[in-house]
Structure 1
Amino acid sequence: MSGVDVLSETLSSIRIGRAQACSVRQAGAWGWRYPSFSGSGFHLVTAGEAWLVTRGGPPRHLKTGDVVFTPAGAEHGLSHAPAALTGLPRAVREEDLPQPDPADVEFLCGAYWLDHGQVSPQLRSLPDVIAVTPDHARNPQLRPLLDLMRAHLAETGPGTGVTRPALLDLMLTHLLRQWLQENPDPLDAPIARVLSRIHAAPDHPWTVPDLSAIAGLSRTAFSERFTTVTGQPPKRYLTGRRLADAARLLRETDTPLSAIARRVGYSTEFALSNAFRREYGIAPGRFRAEAALSAGP
């Protein structure tokens, strides 16, 4: 899949989740293990240094500005020094954390929690843990964005439930774009053409013959190739894309369900409701109500 398609799919999948973030300060000897969870998470080192600890590789030194991203919520750890992941204590809630002053290191912790459904195949296809050192020369907009996000975490007034996810989205967009540029996947041109058409018009009544014709492949060859590239058969991918768009619209807008159904390719809200319930285990109306409740005033 092309880098643009990966970025688009990754961000679309992430935004279904409930965004949260907090600031952490540590001094002296410290270390935390973050268990696996359903969703995507990140850490941004805003001051000082730390070590990233994972199960699959050696500890990685992190400097101020570095970002750690777990696309599918994989277990990992942060520590003042290289350590074994199993030797680190489980992370605790923000209100239970020590907040020393002065601190040796400060970092932001954020997550998109999935209360319903599963992490998408697009996110699961990425490495368990991604570490990025922002290239401020190539992306000068990152520095003021990161400063704004750090300052915004201290705010608790009206509107933070809306602006905070928007800032997280922007930050991850820039960082993932940089990571994809530095770690390009081979471009599968026929499948990339199909994905572009699906993303541009998810409401179109696509059929496998339609999509295989766009790819210029036989139906059998197309289905096999599409499944290899995306991790899903064409029809399952299309359904997942439509329902992810519906979930995002339910979370971010007050658009009526009937209009959302038409916008994502379902003839009636009843049809969308049945498909949505199968995918996320919850009715669309209840999903929207829980999203509004978690966003706060």
Structure 2
Amino acid sequence: MAGRRTSTLAAMDALAALLTGPRARGAFLLRSVFDPPWAIRIEDRAPLTVLTTVRGDGWIVPDGAPPVPLRVGDLAIVRGPEPYTVADRPETAPQVVIHPGQVSTTVDGERMCEALDQGVRTWGTAGDAATVLLSGTYQLHGEVSGRLLRALPPVLRLAAEEWSSPLVALLEAEIGRDEPGQEVVLDRLLDLLLISALRSWFARDAGHAPAWYRAHADAVVGRALGLLHTDPARAWTVHELAAETGVSRAALARRFTDLVGEPPMAYLTNWRLAQAADLLAEPDATLTAVARRVGYGSGFALSAAFKRVRGVSPQQFRELAGAAAG
């Protein structure tokens, strides 16, 4: 029982580690209120959006894929940047389009933000509308989150009968508040809600969980992954990692590669570079400072590894990421 609990905690730590870099920072949270018929076309190109209905039912209609129901108490995680529609019924034509920067217009391009304003973080046709939809949008692209995003389907739905969380009610209560520090409170609530939902989904659909997540159920590899995630800057070797996990170097290398899909040092390199890519998105971060944080002795060493694995220099990556964000 204790071993199972330890491996489960390790898996949660890995999931939290993936969200540490690109966690919500000024996420866009909104309470949408509409009476049927209603349909909102989402073209904001956001990497990740969390949706849940607290009153009324709806549908998520991805382009070129079957509609996904969204009933009261359901929660959906939508992976961008592909556009999709949220509506009361799949066949309802969109009346509103959400663009990058959360700018809303009619389908003809007329701005609607002010016309639909219903108060603090509330938007729609009437405060007592039949449908109340809560949404939280991660607007930043980070390479650490890229590993997580690649593990998700375009639309992940958790039905109310198989998942529940007190965080939804708390988010609903907090989303309309306008108090000092409220943005930070909402960011952290969104993070907690996302992690809770992903835990439930990975546990329910273990076959669809990524290899790095499933590997944490193994006592040896889970321990090794936890060490690499906790201290990536340490000058790890397979020998040292094996000593920490209580097995031989050959046994660890074989077991790690079989479960994770790549050798321990290759995984560590990719993890370090993913963290470096996310840190490079910070405008004030220097290459030397980033290098030290992720385990490289100098900016030159990080630059060489980055270019060898990713095909571009850190500076080129930063310029490309800035252009994409823009």
Q: Pick from 78, 81, 99 the counterpart of residue 86 of structure 2.
A: 78
Residues 187-206 of structure 1 mapped to structure 2, 5 A cutoff:
187-206=217-236
What is aligned with 1:65?
73
Q: 1:225 to 1:17 in 2, by over 3 A?
A: farther
Q: CA deviation at 1:241?
A: 2.7
What RMSD, in angstroms, separates the aligned Cα atoms of the two structures?
4.6
What is aligned with 1:21?
29
Please give the alpha-carbon distance, in whole angstroms, between the structure 2 residues aligned to 1:104 and 1:202. 50
TM-score of the superposed pair, with normalisation by structure 2: 0.64
What is aligned with 2:125?
100
Q: CA deviation at 1:128?
A: 2.2
SS at match of 1:120: helix
What is aligned with 1:264?
294
Query: Does residue 1:109 correspond to 2:135, yes or no?
Result: yes
Residues 145-164 of structure 1 mapped to structure 2, 5 A cutoff:
145-148=171-174, 150-152=175-177, 155=178, 159-164=181-186
| Contact map agreement 2:48 2:77 (CA 8 A) in 1 | yes
SS at match of 1:147: helix
Query: Larger radius of gyration, structure 1 or 2?
Result: 2
How many matched pairs?
281
Q: Pick from 268, 292, 305 the counterpart of residue 238 of structure 1.
A: 268
What is aligned with 1:132?
158
Kindly provide the amino acid, as one letter, of the partner of residue 98 in structure 2: V
Kindly provide the amino acid, as one letter, of the partner of residue 122 in structure 1: L
Kindly provide the amino acid, as one letter, of the partner of residue 204 in structure 1: R
Identity of aligned pairs, percent? 29
Please give the alpha-carbon distance, in whole angstroms, between the structure 1 residues aligned to 2:78 and 2:163. 25
Q: CA deviation at 1:115?
A: 4.8
Q: CA deviation at 1:282?
A: 6.0
What is aligned with 1:171?
193
Please give the alpha-carbon distance, in whole angstroms, between the structure 1 residues aligned to 2:169 and 2:157. 17
| Contact map agreement 1:12 1:245 (CA 8 A) in 2 | no
Q: 1:115 to 1:276 in 2, by over 3 A?
A: farther
Q: Pick from 202, 205, 213 the counterpart of residue 183 of structure 1.
A: 205
Please give the alpha-carbon distance, in whole angstroms, between the structure 1 residues aligned to 2:44 and 2:189. 24
Q: 1:103 to 1:146 in 2, by over 3 A?
A: closer
Please give the alpha-carbon distance, in whole angstroms, between the structure 1 residues aligned to 2:77 and 2:296. 34
Q: 1:108 to 1:270 in 2, by over 3 A?
A: farther
Residues 1-20 of structure 1 mapped to structure 2, 5 A cutoff:
3-4=11-12, 7-12=15-20, 14-15=22-23, 19-20=27-28
Q: CA deviation at 1:196?
A: 1.3
TM-score of the superposed pair, with normalisation by structure 1: 0.68
Q: 1:179 to 1:168 in 2, by over 3 A?
A: same
Q: 1:235 to 1:41 in 2, by over 3 A?
A: farther
